[in-house]
Structure 1
Amino acid sequence: MSEDRLYVVTNDQISPARARVGQAILWGSGAILVLVALLQSFGQSDGGTATFGALADSWRPTLYAWCLFITAYCASLVIRHGERGKRQLFIAPAVLFIASMVIFPLIFALTIAFSDWNLSAVDGQQFNGFDNIREMWGDGFYWNALGNMVFYTAAIIAEYIIAFGLALLLNSQIRARKFFRVAFLLPLMLSPVAVSWMIGKSMFEARFGPMARLARSLGWDNPSFFGDPDIAPYLIAAMDAWTFIPFMMIMLLAGLQAIPKDLTEAAQVDGARPWQTFWEVTFPLMLPVSLTAIMIRIIFKLKLADIIINVTSGGPGGATDSVTSFIFREYRDRSNVGYGTMLAIVYLVLIVIAFTLFIKLVSRWMRPRY
């Protein structure tokens, strides 16, 4: 049978001159984009003087240069690759979207991070080199927030154990199983802001809250749950866990229901006890789902801020602060855009490094088992 040529992409005969024209269009538009962006950056740091002040008024020239580069990039694909370039145009929107929404804002953030830019100052954005890094290195409150994030992230182990227990319970044959599945999902439906006001500002209110009254009846003269640096972090972790444990539970429950019952029944026929069946059959099969749930939960945990901001604002003395809430206060309270952006970028770099190491360790640990 002859081959269907409709779905076969042939290599067009692209002359060297045509390929050079396509490369010239691509590199020329890229050079224009870089030049305009540099001129605007110098204009911002120059304080709006006559040298680059006209370009520094807005970022519209960079936007226009970026649109020119997108058009030139698409045209160069067709010029340099012919029919294959037309096929590549279908994935070009995804590539350009990632560049527009991720790469370009990241470059813009880097220009802010290496500058002194306080919204309350009259000088505007001023390039200051590595001053923000030196300030961050001596900022004890920032390193305290990083230490708190280690504690909050380690609390995911307890959340996972509780979520796994609830998933096993809801996967068993108990009465009103459907009702409990819906009831346990209710905290996930609430906003963390609502949880912070409902629990942190109401139930644990130091004067009239029900938990404060209970504490007084038990002999605690002046209960101040969020005023004690030894108690407040655990309460913040408990409220956040109460909100997101149902998320892990529903993922683990889906994994348990996907396990064939023949495996557990075969283990019972062989005389395995319930604990042996769980440890030797159920838990190993649940490892991929468990690791996925833990990784997604870590991502949510690293963004912990709303409960802290509404309940304690990082207090007392930074005992409950997270990195996100600390950066938020740098922006809101101190209007320190440059320093806050540097803290955010350093935090992003630490997260990328930690996640890369975590994934490599998990892959190495899972390889002998699967």
Structure 2
Amino acid sequence: MFRLASLLLVAMTALEVLDSAGVLNIGFVNWRPVLYMFLLWGIALAASQILARGEIGQQTLFLLPALLFTAAMVIFPTVFGIYIALTDWNLNAQSGHHFNGLDNLRTLLSDSYFWNALGNMVFYVLTVIAQYAIAFALALLLNADIRARKFFRIAFLMPFMLSPVAVSWMIGKSIMENRFGPAATFARYVGWENPAFFTSPWIARTSIIVMDSWVWIPFILTMLLAGLQALPTDLKEAAKVDGANRWQSFWEVTFPLMLPVSVTAIVLRIIFELKLADIVINVTAGGPGGATDTISSFIYREYRDRSNVGYATMVAEVYLVIIIVFVTLLLKAVSRFMQKMT
């Protein structure tokens, strides 16, 4: 039963793909037949588990909704995206879409704007180390016995409560506006004759990462502060009794104990940084000349401005592969580093 349903699902999917590519003229209007066959395949899978494995099969059924949801919402869109990436599909074209093989990939490999956006992503990801250092310093400050500590904790968390879109308009479009913005006014006061935060490539990149860091440093700060509060106080007291100063106590005791929390915060922040798009889209739209573009904002502009669905999907699929490879290598490196430290 399950094998028959699987064959029918594969056959129906193949027919839909061939019909959409124009190889066959079956006359499918949409992809509903594949959806119905997928539902039939799920029913056959559930029935086969019960018939073949009995009570254990019934227990397995509790996992099937999650597995089928993952297949429907992750695997199928990814496979369908690969199909779109292999087509010449522009929404402005009257001819619709047609299969063009690896032409979109060849275009991507020679696209200077894509490589520029990828280089920008490397820069943005590397700034996570600076964000971590700032967050760690703030976490140590907020963990100390200072006045108005509760007030400062709330104040430093406020940027994380705001939407990046709101931040981009509040700071990028208002405070950093080059004519009447407070930041530009202050820059002219200290001697910058024509303050423009988004005309020079490097100044624009720095401005973007400053806004992004202002939003996300509180996220790292929260994790590090929680880790600091969970540290045993007797170790610090023992180091103090042994004659260690503040720097030695931090470097020899606090920092090594905080490594698991630190690594987790950095890895999560890198993953979030790889998705950076909203601030860039709202403030600079990738300008000047693509200098601030990220891969996500570049994909967005390909969809919105050029209606180039096929090429934008190819960029998205290639970027997905890059992220998977990069995160896999990053996690392996982190695992080896943690094994050496412990």
The 5-angstrom pairing of residues 285-300 of structure 1 reads: 285-300=257-272
Task: Give the letter aligned to residue 46 of structure 1.
Answer: G
Partner residue, 1:211? 183
Q: Does 1:38 align with 2:14?
A: yes
Distance 2:190 2:257 in 1: 46
Task: Give the letter aligned to residue 179 of structure 1.
Answer: F
Distance 2:232 2:191 in 1: 53
Partner residue, 2:210? 238
Distance 1:318 1:185 in 2: 32
Shift of 1:125: 2.2
Distance 1:169 1:157 in 2: 19
- The gaps in structure 1 that reach 5 residues or longer are 1-24
Identity %: 59
The 5-angstrom pairing of residues 78-227 of structure 1 reads: 78-227=50-199
- Larger deviation: 118-127 or 345-354? 118-127
Task: Give the letter aligned to residue 258 of structure 2.
Answer: M
Shift of 1:83: 2.1
Q: Does 1:247 align with 2:234?
A: no
Q: Does 1:29 align with 2:29?
A: no
Partner residue, 2:339? 367
Task: Give the letter aligned to residue 194 of structure 2.
Answer: N
- Larger deviation: 131-140 or 33-42? 33-42
Shift of 1:187: 0.4
Which of 249, 252, 255 pairs up with 1:277? 249
Q: Deviations over 1:299-328 (max 9, x none)?
A: 111111111111111111111110100000
Task: Give the letter aligned to residue 106 of structure 1.
Answer: T
- Larger deviation: 31-40 or 232-241? 31-40
Shift of 1:28: 0.8
Distance 2:16 2:4 in 1: 18
Partner residue, 1:13? none
Distance 2:131 2:297 in 1: 22
Shift of 1:212: 1.8
The 5-angstrom pairing of residues 341-360 of structure 1 reads: 341-360=313-332
Shift of 1:295: 0.9
Name the TM-score, length of structure 2 as normaliser: 0.98
Work out which structure has the larger RCO, using CA pairs closer than 8 Å and 6 or more positions apart in sequence.
2
Q: Deviations over 1:228-259 (max 9, x none)?
A: 11211001000000010001000000000110
SS in 1 for 2:147: coil
Shift of 1:222: 2.2
Name the TM-score, length of structure 1 as normaliser: 0.90
Shift of the 213–117 alpha-carbon distance from structure 1 to 2, 3 Å rule, reads same
Shift of 1:220: 2.8
SS in 2 for 1:122: coil
Distance 1:110 1:140 in 2: 22
Partner residue, 1:74? 46
Distance 1:86 1:218 in 2: 73
Shift of 1:103: 0.8
SS in 1 for 2:193: coil
Shift of 1:269: 1.1
Shift of the 218–179 alpha-carbon distance from structure 1 to 2, 3 Å rule, reads closer
Q: Deviations over 1:114-140 (max 9, x none)?
A: 111111112222111000100000000
Aligned residues: 342
- The gaps in structure 2 that reach 5 residues or longer are none
Shift of 1:79: 1.7
SS in 2 for 1:231: helix
Distance 2:94 2:34 in 1: 25
Task: Give the letter aligned to residue 37 of structure 2.
Answer: A
SS in 1 for 2:78: helix
Task: Give the letter aligned to residue 328 of structure 2.
Answer: T
Q: Deviations over 1:1-54 (max 9, x none)?
A: xxxxxxxxxxxxxxxxxxxxxxxx11111111111111111111118x7x22x2
- Larger deviation: 67-76 or 95-104? 95-104
Distance 1:230 1:297 in 2: 22
Task: Give the letter aligned to residue 209 of structure 2.
Answer: A
Task: Give the letter aligned to residue 146 of structure 2.
Answer: I
Q: Deviations over 1:143-192 (max 9, x none)?
A: 00000000000000110000000000011100111111000001001111
The structure with the largest alpha-carbon Rg is 1
